[in-house]
Amino acid sequence: MKQLCILSDFDGTITQKDGIYSFIEAYAKGDWQKIEQDWAVGKIDSKECLTEEFKLVPKLSEELISYFIDTLEIDETFADFYNEITAKGIDFYIVSDGIDYFIKRILKKYNLNDINVISNHGEFRREFFEITFPNDYPECINNAGTCKCKVLSDLRKDYEKIIYIGDGVSDYCVADKADILYAKKRLLNYCVEKGIKHISYNDFSNIKINF
């Protein structure tokens, strides 16, 4: 068993803004806000939210996604953080309820192609962008596309300690299950409200790993 691994959310945590939300905001036609609100209050799950929102994007293409990704930036301190922990032999996983198609293209832009990504899957099939959910879990309390609690639970078999880094709603359920939690934005507010032990951070330069 290894001593330590680090799990991190992607959108809004590694990226400076939520890429999926920004993409839908920029290109969806129709009442995508209603879908987003229904997800936020628990009327629909993240799987239905993603699927229905992407249906509202006309003429979705690889060129459109590539153009959009070129506008996204990651936390400027992330690459140094990642290189530092991997040099120490610490395993790192992105655990996201977003889409690997977006995540991997963004990472490729920054020459970060070797990072482990656990997320929903998206691919073009003829004229359609199909989203599937290889990491869902029937017993997930939020019926999320990627059950972060199940991912963390599975990794417990291989690691003595797990650090989690997040920022948003999709991180709420896993917040009290990590050994050390770094939180910002909505996740930080949630932890304060629920009395969940956490460390506040602004960017990856604030995250210090003693190993």
> Where are the chain's structural domains?
2-16+75-206
Q: What is the 3-state secondary structure (H, E, C) of the chain?
A: CEEEEEEECCCCCCECCCHHHHHHHHHCCCCHHHHHHHHHCCCCCHHHHHHHHHHCCCCCCHHHHHHHHCCCCECCCHHHHHHHHHHCCCEEEEEEEEEHHHHHHHHHHCCCCCCEEEEEEEEEECCEEEEECCCCCCCCCCCCCCCHHHHHHHHCCCEEEEEEEECCHHHCCCCCCCCEEEECHHHHHHHHHHCCCCEECCCHHHCCCCC
Lowest pLDDT segment from 55-59, 157-161, 192-196: 55-59
4 pLDDT above the threshold of 90: yes
Q: What is the pTM of this model?
A: 0.94
**Amino acid 129: pLDDT:** 86
211 pLDDT above the threshold of 70: no
Domain 2-16+75-206 listed as CATH 3.40.50.1000: yes
Task: Report the chain's mean pLDDT, rounded to a whole number.
Answer: 94
Band the pLDDT of 59: cuts 50, 70, 90: confident
**Amino acid 61: pLDDT:** 87
Average pLDDT over residues 65-94: 95
210 pLDDT above the threshold of 80: no
